[in-house]
Amino acid sequence: MATRTDAPTRREQILKEAARLFAERGFHGVGVDEIGAAVGISGPGLYRHFAGKDAMLAELLVGISGQLLTGAKRRLQEADGSAADTVLDSLIEGHIDFALDDRPLITLHDRELDRLRDSDRKLVRQLQRQYVELWVEVVREVYPGLAEPAARSAVHSVFGLLNSTPHLGRPGSLPGRAGTAELLHRMARGAFAAAGA
């Protein structure tokens, strides 16, 4: 979602506003009329794009998990032959882009994942496991002495660090996007270095 530069489609606009509203007020605290008003259409007009709020939530959470995995695979392909350190930096940069640009989706995942149908929740978890395993492989290349369970724990810990962005305070209180990204990157590498020491 964050990497596109062309104009968003109406469907993407609806999803973006739904994510923002769900993150601010909770899934049950938002009606379809409010989501429609946020994008300039009637609430019932949303049903031309989505079957309902449940479908929006599923597309948001399954979608971002799929996008993270696809982005990580793309970064691995683009870095083919590069040093493992370079690949790890690229993965970190990709996740930081998500953490800074899609903050409502982090909040939404934390609060609303259990509201998904079982099949959608299982798909989210499956995509997330694949994403983690890509990272674990790269981390173990950079730190070969790190056992697989410890590498997996380190990856989850770094995700926790990077995904803390919704709790960083008001946007104006941060050192700017570039400064925040640089800080998060240093902290992520520091965490991996500590795990691999």
**Please, are residues 14 and 35 in contact by the beta-carbon 8 Å criterion?**
yes
The reported pLDDT for the residue numbered 77 is 92
The reported pLDDT for the residue numbered 140 is 97
Residue that the structure tokens 């007020």 belong to: 25
Computed over every residue of the chain, the mean pLDDT equals 90
The reported pLDDT for the residue numbered 82 is 82
Residue type, 105: L
CA distance 68 to 73: 9
The reported pLDDT for the residue numbered 144 is 95
Q: What are phi and psi of 118, to 5 degrees?
A: -55, -45
Using a 10 angstrom Cβ sphere, with 0-12 exposed, 13-18 middle and 19 or more buried, the burial of residue 21 is buried
pTM: 0.87
DSSP character for 45?
G
CA distance 128 to 69: 7
Q: What is the pLDDT of residues 71-101, one digit of tens each?
A: 999 999 998 888 999 999 999 999 999 999 9
Give the chain's residues under pLDDT 50: 1-4
